[in-house]
């Protein structure tokens, strides 16, 4: 145990002395602060309406004075437009009532803006009652997407730090000393495993606290990192295996980093019937865990099944890269 502890201490000392690694350590938290500061402003900045052509021309002309207006041929078309990712309010006629339709994920300040505009236009002189409804009550899609990406990246940063330390071991010939030391390959990998998980936990908990505060189950946040650990360590070993120096590690960082980002993004925009093509990718199952924790509701797969699939698919990947690593490094 003492040998493993010494390796972990060495890794954190190396990381603290390397400016790039130090930035990586806090990367997810820095991005979370940026998102928390600017996303509400972005969501509340634009006023757009999708209006059914059955609404009177007089009302449409007045609404055009307040924001962007798209006139649609049917109520179904208005609902489809409201259901897209950006924040657009729909206006339709529901019998004798004018109905303002929201998707349910708009920023609260933006919803109030829409209501004020419609109340101003449909004054008592016009005599048209107003009805408000949300197509679906749910949180912000933009915020959900960014949260999923940031939490996935926070776990990835742990693997990246561990991968950089393996490359540092190769560059400084430390890994050659390990070959003739009593430290076994498994102890070496366990030390990297611990480094990756510790960094991942720090970033995941920190980013979660900034993004959602106390409104999330932090036991499950920790379990995200635990379930993702096999995949994260597989990434670290892959970087250590393929990169001969820090420059090579930076190149691999871009490749592996894009995999961690692109799969969560695709999971939001690919229709459910086609998502099976993503099943072989461990980051897809990690995305499903994160969505269960931060988005709530009924997800396609539950938390425990997604967690198990993340761990198992990551373990298979870890076994492959670990076998290749042992052959190359011979420790």
**DSSP 8-state class, residue 217:** -
The answer to whether residues 286 and 319 belong to one domain is yes
For tokens 């350590």, the residue is 25
The answer to whether residues 148 and 297 belong to one domain is yes
- Of 20-34, 100-114, 305-319, which one has max mean pLDDT? 305-319
- Closest residue by Cα to residue 20 from 160, 229, 174: 160
Of the residues 73, 106, 134, which one is the last residue of a structural domain? 134
The answer to whether residues 178 and 295 belong to one domain is yes
The answer to whether residues 253 and 318 belong to one domain is yes
- Closest residue by Cα to residue 231 from 197, 264, 265: 197
User: Full-prediction pTM beyond 0.85?
Assistant: no
CATH number (domain holding residue 126) = 3.40.190
For 121-158, the pLDDT digits (tens) are: 765 444 455 555 554 444 456 777 888 899 999 999 99
Asked whether the beta carbons of 281 and 263 are under 8 A apart, the reply is: yes
| Owning domain of residue 81 | 45-134
The answer to whether residues 24 and 126 belong to one domain is no
The answer to whether residues 207 and 320 belong to one domain is yes
pLDDT of amino acid 137: 44
The answer to whether residues 226 and 277 belong to one domain is yes
Please give the full DSSP string across 76-121, using - where no structure is assigned: HHHHHHHTSSS--EEEEEETTEEEEEE-S-S-HHHHHHHHHHHHHH
Q: What total number of domains does the chain contain? A: 2
For 189-227, the pLDDT digits (tens) are: 888 899 899 999 999 999 999 888 887 889 999 999 999
The answer to whether residues 320 and 261 belong to one domain is yes
- C-alpha span between 188 and 196 (Å, rounded): 13
The answer to whether residues 164 and 283 belong to one domain is yes
The answer to whether residues 95 and 188 belong to one domain is no
Of the residues 134, 153, 178, which one is the last residue of a structural domain? 134
Of the residues 106, 134, 162, which one is the last residue of a structural domain? 134
Asked whether the beta carbons of 168 and 240 are under 8 A apart, the reply is: no
């Amino acid at each position: 145990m003492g040998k493993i502890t010494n390796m972990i201490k060495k890794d954190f000392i190396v990381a603290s002395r390397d400016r790039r690694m130090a930035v990586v350590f806090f990367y997810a938290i820095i991005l979370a602060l940026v998102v928390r500061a600017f996303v509400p402003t972005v969501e509340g900045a634009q006023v757009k309406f999708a209006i059914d052509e059955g609404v009177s021309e007089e009302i449409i002309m007045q609404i055009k004075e307040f924001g962007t207006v798209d006139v649609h041929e049917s109520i179904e078309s208005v609902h489809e437009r409201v259901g897209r990712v950006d924040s657009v309010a729909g206006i339709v006629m529901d019998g004798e009532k004018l109905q303002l339709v929201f998707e349910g994920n708009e920023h609260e300040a933006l919803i109030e803006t829409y209501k004020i505009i419609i109340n101003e236009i449909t004054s008592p002189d016009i005599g048209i009652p107003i009805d408000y409804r949300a197509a679906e009550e749910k949180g912000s899609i933009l915020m959900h997407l960014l949260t999923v990406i940031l939490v996935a990246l926070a776990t990835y940063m742990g693997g990246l730090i561990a991968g950089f330390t393996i490359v540092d071991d190769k560059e400084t010939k430390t890994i050659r000393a390990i070959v003739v030391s009593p430290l076994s390959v498994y102890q070496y990998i366990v030390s990297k495993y611990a480094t990756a998980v510790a960094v991942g936990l720090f970033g995941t908990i920190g980013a979660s606290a900034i993004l959602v505060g106390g409104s999330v189950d932090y036991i499950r946040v920790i379990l995200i990192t635990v379930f993702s650990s096999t995949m994260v360590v597989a990434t670290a070993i892959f970087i250590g295996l393929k990169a001969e120096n820090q420059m090579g590690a930076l190149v691999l960082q871009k490749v592996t980093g894009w995999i961690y980002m692109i799969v969560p993004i695709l999971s939001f925009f690919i229709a459910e019937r086609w998502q099976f093509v993503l099943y072989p990718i461990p980051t897809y199952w990690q995305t499903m865990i994160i969505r269960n924790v931060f988005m709530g509701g009924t997800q396609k797969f539950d938390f425990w099944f997604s967690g198990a699939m993340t761990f198992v698919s990551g373990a298979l990947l870890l076994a492959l890269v670990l076998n290749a690593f042992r052959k190359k490094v011979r420790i």
